[in-house]
Structure 1
Amino acid sequence: MVLLLQDRGRLTAHQIAGELGVSIRTVYRDIEALGAAGVPVYAELGANGGYQLVDGYRTKLTGLTEQEAGSIFLAGVPSAAAELGLGAVLTTAELKLRAALPARLSRHVDEIRDRFHLDPAGWFRETESHPELAALAGAVWNRRRVRMRYRRWREPREVERVVSPLGIVLKAGVWYFLALAGQDIRTYRVATVLELTVLDETFERPSDFDLAATWAEWAVDFERRLHRDHATVRLAPAALSRIPYLMTRAMSREVDAAVGPPDDDGWTTVTLPIESINHAHAEFLRLGGDIEVLAPPALREMMRSTAQSLRLLYEGEDVGPGR
C-alpha cells in the first residue's frame, strides 16, 4: 500500500482495494496500522479526497524477492508474464523498482510507456489456449520432470512422455518448450499438451545447455526441414513486391538472393523452396495471375486445373446460387 501511494499519489480506498485485490475493510485496517507504525499517511476529505503520504516521504522498503527479480525481464510483455503465472509478481516488482526512483525518473518511466508498447502476438491468428503453461514454467524453474500427454501430427496422434523441461520460448505469440527426452533435446508446442503432471523427481540441467543458442539452431533446422522441395516460377513485378508480405521468410530470402534481370515481358524466373506441392499450390494462389509455375509438372498441372475451374465458375453471366 505504501508503494502504491508513493507511486500514484492520492488514492481512494476503493482504488487501493482494487489495485491490491483486497476488501475496503482491509484497506481501512491497514491504513490504521501504517499510522500506528509511524508511516505519515493521512486522509484528504471531500469529493476529490483520498489517502496520501506526506510530501517528500519515501520508503526504503524496496527489496526484491527472487521471484520478483526474475520476472523483471518480462516487464515489456505483461501478457506473457500473466500466462506464465507471474502477473502479480511482476506488478509487485515494478512497484518496488518505481518506489526506489526519484520522482523525475518515475515520470520518465510513464512517458516511455506512453510511447512504446510491445505486442508479441502474431497477426490473423486466434490466441492459443495454454492451461498447462504456468505449471510447466514452475517445472522448468524447479528442475522437475513432467509426465505429459500431447497431440502430434503423425500417428499415433496422442502420445505420453516423461521429459525434463529445460526452457520456454515465446515465438510470435506461440509458446514452445525445450525438454530432454532420453538423451535428446526436443521442442514441443505448449498448445499441443493435453495433460501435464509435475513429478517429484528432479533432474540435472546439462551444464553446456544454452536456451537462446539451442532455440536459434533448432529454428534454422526446422525451417530447412520444412521446405523439402523446390518450385521454379515466373513472377510479375507486382508479385515480387508482395512476396515479403504473403510468403514465408525462406521464400522471401530466396527471391532476394536469386532475382536477376527480367525477361522481355518484365517477369523474373526464380526457384523457391516449398513445403509440398499441396502447400505450394495454396500459397501460390495468393498471387493470382502474377505467378506462373514452370516446375515441377505436378504443381503446374494443379495450378492449371484450378485456373480452369475458376474460369468456368466465373465466365457465366448469371450470378448467385440460382444461376
Structure 2
Amino acid sequence: MRASRLVTLLLLLQNRGRMTARQLADELEVSVRTVYRDVEALGAAGIPLYGAAGHAGGYRLVDGYRTRLTGLTVDEARAAFLAALPGAAAELGLGEALATARLKLQAALPAEVREHAERIQQRFLLDAPGWYGDAGQAPHLGAVADAVWTRRAVVLRYRRWRAPQEIERRVEPYGLVLKAGRWYLVAGGPSGIRTYRVDQILAFRPLEEEFVIPGRFDLAGYWNVYLAGFRARLHTAEALVRLTPQGARLLGVTPAGDGWTQIRLPIESIDHAHRDFLRLGTDIEVLAPAELRSRIAETARTLAARYER
C-alpha cells in the first residue's frame, strides 16, 4: 500500500510541479506527518526532490527529472478506458484505479500535450444519465463485472416485465453496456444471447465454470443490432396528428409555414402516446386513431371539470 502511495506522490509532483505537504496530504488522503515520512523515503531512494519553507514553499522535483514508473496495472488499464465516465468507473470499483491511471498517463505525456489534456479535463465533462431518469440501484454490479472480466458462468435470478416475472438462468456474461445511466448485461444462454438490466438482477451466483466467448461476437456490433430491434419493436403503430408551429418544434418536426402541420408519428402504444401527447397541451390535435383521440378528449373533459370547481 505504501509503495503505491509513494508512486502516486511522485507522479503528483511530476505532473503538477510544486505542492505543499497539506496539498499532498489531501490528495493522498493521509496526514501531513505521513507525507513528511514519504518524502524522506523518496529522498533516501535517490529521487531528486527538495522542499522549501514559507508561503511560497512546498515540495518539487529537480527541473528536468521525469520518472519512468508509468506502467499501468491491469485495473488501471481497465479504468483508463472509462476515463470519460468517472461515475461508471466508480460503480465498477475502479474509481481509485482510474485516478492513478490518469496520473500515470499524464506523467508519460510531454509538457505541452499534458497541459492541453488538463485543459480539456477542466472544460469538458460527460454526464451520461438523463435529467429525470432514475438510474436505479444495482447491488450486483461489482459481481457481474468480475464475472465478465474472469469469463466465469453464473446463475442469476432475474425480474422481468412479462410472466413469469421471476426467472432463474445459467448464463455466460459476455459484456456490460452503460446506456442512459443504466447498466445492461449481455450474456449467452440456452436460448442464445440475451440482454439483462443489471438493476433487475435479484440474486447472482458465480460458478467455477469458465467459458469462451464466440469468436465472431462483437459487443458494440451486438448492441447496435439490439437497439435497432428494440426501436422497431417499440414503435409498432402510428398516429395522425396536427401540430402548431411550437408543437412541431418541440417534436423536432419542420413546421409547414406559420399554421398547423399535419404529420404521422410512430407510437409505441395508445397508453404511451396518450401520456406523451398530453405534455404538448394545446399544441397538438390527435386525428387518428379514434381510440387515442377519444382518450385524450376524455382526459381534457376531466381536467376541465376539475378546474371549474
Q: Same fold (TM over 0.5)?
A: yes
> C-alpha distance in 2, partners of 1:126/1:15?
36
Please name the residue that 2:266 is paired with.
273
Superposition pairs of residues 42-121 of structure 1, within 5 angstroms = 42-121=50-129
> C-alpha distance in 1, partners of 2:34/2:21?
9
Deviates more, 1:190-199 or 1:211-220: 190-199
Partner SS for 2:81? helix
Question: Is 2:173 the partner of 1:180?
Answer: no
TM superposition shift of 1:64 = 1.8
Please name the residue that 2:5 is paired with.
none
What letter matches 1:302 in structure 2? R
In structure 2, runs of 5+ residues without a counterpart are 1-8
Please name the residue that 1:169 is paired with.
177
> C-alpha distance in 1, partners of 2:62/2:42?
13
Please name the residue that 2:165 is paired with.
157
Partner SS for 1:138? helix
Please name the residue that 1:289 is paired with.
282
> C-alpha distance in 1, partners of 2:156/2:54?
57
> C-alpha distance in 2, partners of 1:185/1:25?
55
Deviation string 1:275-322 (CA, Å, 9 cap, x unpaired) is 211111111111112222222222111111111112222335xxxxxx
Please name the residue that 1:146 is paired with.
154
Superposition RMSD on alpha carbons, in Å?
A: 2.1
After TM superposition, the score normalised by the length of structure 2 is: 0.89
> C-alpha distance in 2, partners of 1:238/1:16?
54
Question: Is 2:308 the partner of 1:315?
Answer: yes
> C-alpha distance in 1, partners of 2:222/2:300?
44
What letter matches 2:290 in structure 1? P
Deviates more, 1:104-113 or 1:280-289: 104-113
> C-alpha distance in 2, partners of 1:19/1:306?
57
Give the one of 35, 42, 52 matched to 2:43: 35
> C-alpha distance in 1, partners of 2:152/2:250?
47
> C-alpha distance in 2, partners of 1:14/1:135?
37
What letter matches 1:197 in structure 2? R
What letter matches 1:219 in structure 2? L
Count of aligned pairs between the two proteins:
301
> C-alpha distance in 2, partners of 1:190/1:25?
43
TM superposition shift of 1:105 = 2.1
> C-alpha distance in 2, partners of 1:166/1:21?
36
TM superposition shift of 1:41 = 2.1
Question: Is 2:201 the partner of 1:208?
Answer: no
Question: Is 2:306 the partner of 1:298?
Answer: no
In structure 1, runs of 5+ residues without a counterpart are 245-254, 317-323
TM superposition shift of 1:84 = 1.6
Partner SS for 1:176? strand
Deviation string 1:194-224 (CA, Å, 9 cap, x unpaired) is 2222222111101000111110110010111
After TM superposition, the score normalised by the length of structure 1 is: 0.86
